Structure 1
Amino acid sequence: MKLHLLDRSTKLSNTSFTIRNNRYPNFLKIWHYHPEFELVTILKSTGTRFIGDSIEQFSVGEIVLIGKNLPHMWLNDKDYFKEGSRLVAQAIAIHFEENFAGEAFFNMPEMQAIKNLFSNAQYGIVFRGDLSAAIKMIKNLEQENGFNRTLSFFKILNLLANHKDYKLLSSMGFVNSFNNTGKTNLAQVYEYIIKNFKERITLEEVANIACMNPTAFSRVFKRVNRKTFSEYLNEVRIGYACKLLMEDKYNISEICFESGFNNISNFNRQFKKTTNYSPTEYLKTRTGAV
């Protein structure tokens, strides 16, 4: 599946954010990314949502926040593509840059919840539960202008930032295959893993980079990442494997070794564990979307 970069910069040249109510027979089947954040509210239609290496069903009333440069696509069910279909796909899409109000603004203590929201958006966030208040505010946003419009948008972001029922979508491994920077004091370890995950990496190696003994490193790493070092490493490798599968340049056996695994059986086992799909199932699901 070819990945497309969409340039939205010209539309944001004279405004801090854009809002569009898109209504089509079906959503465009384009696997794409862009440097702007995107807040999507599904008003009509059903299908499959692709966010990074996450593949899930979507339905009416869903709100998703996508961070910068995270590949994504909404694929409607087959009925939407049948000749003579009267089905409608409708969604409100808001695009904005991460620091559209200025970096200093989001560093204020009052903005901490929204700043955390933006940080989680790098994985893609789907909000669940009662979203009626947020959807009503998003619909009303289309009718507002100027200062009131911007103020209302901040209220929407704050409401979502404090919404407790949500799920992060894409894996850390997939995200790191597009963004190689670490965000904690383990940055050198993350950088080493990203640069060398195709090779054999031992616990002792990374512990030495972190200037810790292996036992202490394992304890700190699990506390920070909520997973063991080996689980993290496998996630990075599987995330990269998903990326290669979508690029359709290698067969599954080649992708196994290109991603740092030494045998097919372990690759298949770890792939299923991480994505809930076998590599073949994952590939069929993806290629069925083009």
Structure 2
Amino acid sequence: MSKVISFQIPKASNTFIQYQEDRGKYFYNNLHQHPQTQLTVIMEGRGQLLVGDYVGRFDAGDVFLLGENVPHVFRSDAEYFEEDNDLKIAGNTVFFDFQAFGTAIDKVEDFRDLLLLNEQINGCFKIHGDTKQEVFDLLNGFNELKGLDKLQRSIHILSKLDFSSEDLEALNLIPVSRSMSEKDGKRMDQVMRYILENSHRTITLDEIAERAYMSKEAFCRFFKLRTRRTFTQYMQQLRITEAKKLLLESDMSIAQISYQVGFQTLSHFNKTFKSMTNQTPKSWRKLN
């Protein structure tokens, strides 16, 4: 099956481990997928992370684990795309290509735990606590490793991933459907870009369906199948996520934030915020 947006990790064939350091103005901003499992440390930069039914934030110091062929995007905040700024991003990523083992991973007893581990990485996980610190430490100097030292360090990193631990937070409420066709992936990327660029205002179903070159009914089926949320639910999640950022980082009033993120009335904002967080915006701001 073709992949979402042509995106291949630069690597030699049959290589289990590939290390990549991203440096620049902003992160790769197309919805994409690749056959490698991905462990990413955000060193610098911030923005929105979209993976399946998850809509959230990423910031410097965060560590994320993503399964193979899971469509995702780390989309830097709008200010990173402005010409006149000094903002930069930095991220260090290890890609694990379990397919490089071929059929050996099924036949060799020593590889069985690796196979079981990869099967558990369905969707996206955020890593916290001691495990996060251990990953940071093990990635330190990773770019200088070669051969068996590189393999040993990689296996050591994977051995730290305990899915029964609270250190690994599953971000997807529903298991992510892996892989999309190239056509669907490009369409979904266009839809997501439009949503993010216009989330501060009302986006009608007619408008977004037209953007996707689909009927309203077809778009609703298409969108829910790939995000596990209705378009309205997804927009609410996106807006509440942005509102949390503004509540923490700005002195704007709650009413100002409500309109800034796209709600038409303050009462609707308060009701939606409480339904999604079990707190009012005012109490959430005080506690965080």
TM-score, with length taken from structure 1: 0.59
Q: Check the 8 A contact 2:105/2:115 in 1, yes or no.
A: no
Letter in 2 for 1:175: S
Structure 1 counterpart SS, 2:22: strand
Residue 70 (1) aligns with residue 70 (2): yes
Q: Check the 8 A contact 2:31/2:72 in 1, yes or no.
A: yes
Cα–Cα, structure 1 residues 125 and 106, in superposed 2: closer, same or farther, change >3 Å? Answer: farther
Letter in 1 for 2:80: Y
Structure 2 counterpart SS, 1:61: coil
Cα distance in 2 for residues equivalent to 1:98 and 1:124: 17
Whose relative contact order is higher, 1 or 2, with alpha carbons under 8 Å and at least 6 apart?
A: 2
Deviations 1:30-65 (A, max 9, x none): 111112222211111111111123111111222222
Q: Check the 8 A contact 2:41/2:64 in 1, yes or no.
A: yes
Aligned to 1:144: 145
Q: Check the 8 A contact 1:113/1:158 in 2, yes or no.
A: no
Letter in 2 for 1:48: Q
Cα–Cα, structure 1 residues 258 and 136, in superposed 2: closer, same or farther, change >3 Å? Answer: closer
Aligned to 1:169: 171
Deviations 1:132-168 (A, max 9, x none): 1211211221111111111111001111246712122
Q: Which 5+ residue runs of structure 2 have no aligned equivalent?
A: 182-207, 241-260, 262-288
- Pairwise CA distance, 1:101: 4.3
- Pairwise CA distance, 1:120: 2.4
Cα–Cα, structure 1 residues 102 and 85, in superposed 2: closer, same or farther, change >3 Å? Answer: same
Cα–Cα, structure 1 residues 35 and 99, in superposed 2: closer, same or farther, change >3 Å? Answer: closer
Letter in 1 for 2:6: L
Cα distance in 1 for residues equivalent to 2:222 and 2:95: 35
Q: Check the 8 A contact 1:66/1:125 in 2, yes or no.
A: yes
Equivalent of residue 278 in structure 1, options 226, 233, 238: 233
- 1:1-40 to 2 correspondences below 5 Å: 3-8=4-9, 11-13=11-13, 15-40=15-40
- 1:48-127 to 2 correspondences below 5 Å: 48-101=48-101, 103-105=103-105, 114-127=114-127
Q: Check the 8 A contact 2:17/2:154 in 1, yes or no.
A: no
- 1:234-273 to 2 correspondences below 5 Å: 248-250=212-214, 252-256=216-220, 271=229
Cα–Cα, structure 1 residues 109 and 163, in superposed 2: closer, same or farther, change >3 Å? Answer: farther
Cα distance in 1 for residues equivalent to 2:127 and 2:109: 24
Q: Check the 8 A contact 1:23/1:91 in 2, yes or no.
A: yes
Structure 1 counterpart SS, 2:144: coil
Letter in 1 for 2:160: L
Cα distance in 1 for residues equivalent to 2:8 and 2:42: 22
Q: Check the 8 A contact 1:252/1:279 in 2, yes or no.
A: no
- Pairwise CA distance, 1:117: 3.0
Aligned to 2:133: 132
Aligned to 2:280: none
- Pairwise CA distance, 1:284: 8.4
Cα–Cα, structure 1 residues 159 and 111, in superposed 2: closer, same or farther, change >3 Å? Answer: farther
Deviations 1:173-208 (A, max 9, x none): 6416859xxxxxxxxxxxxxxxxxxxxxxxxxxxxx
| Stretch moving more, 92-101 or 24-33 | 92-101
Q: Check the 8 A contact 1:52/1:171 in 2, yes or no.
A: no
Aligned to 1:154: 155
- Pairwise CA distance, 1:75: 0.9
Cα distance in 2 for residues equivalent to 1:106 and 1:63: 29
Cα–Cα, structure 1 residues 257 and 155, in superposed 2: closer, same or farther, change >3 Å? Answer: closer
Q: Check the 8 A contact 2:33/2:71 in 1, yes or no.
A: yes
Deviations 1:55-99 (A, max 9, x none): 111112222222221111101122222222111111112223124
Q: Which 5+ residue runs of structure 1 have no aligned equivalent?
A: 180-243, 262-269
Q: Check the 8 A contact 1:99/1:106 in 2, yes or no.
A: no
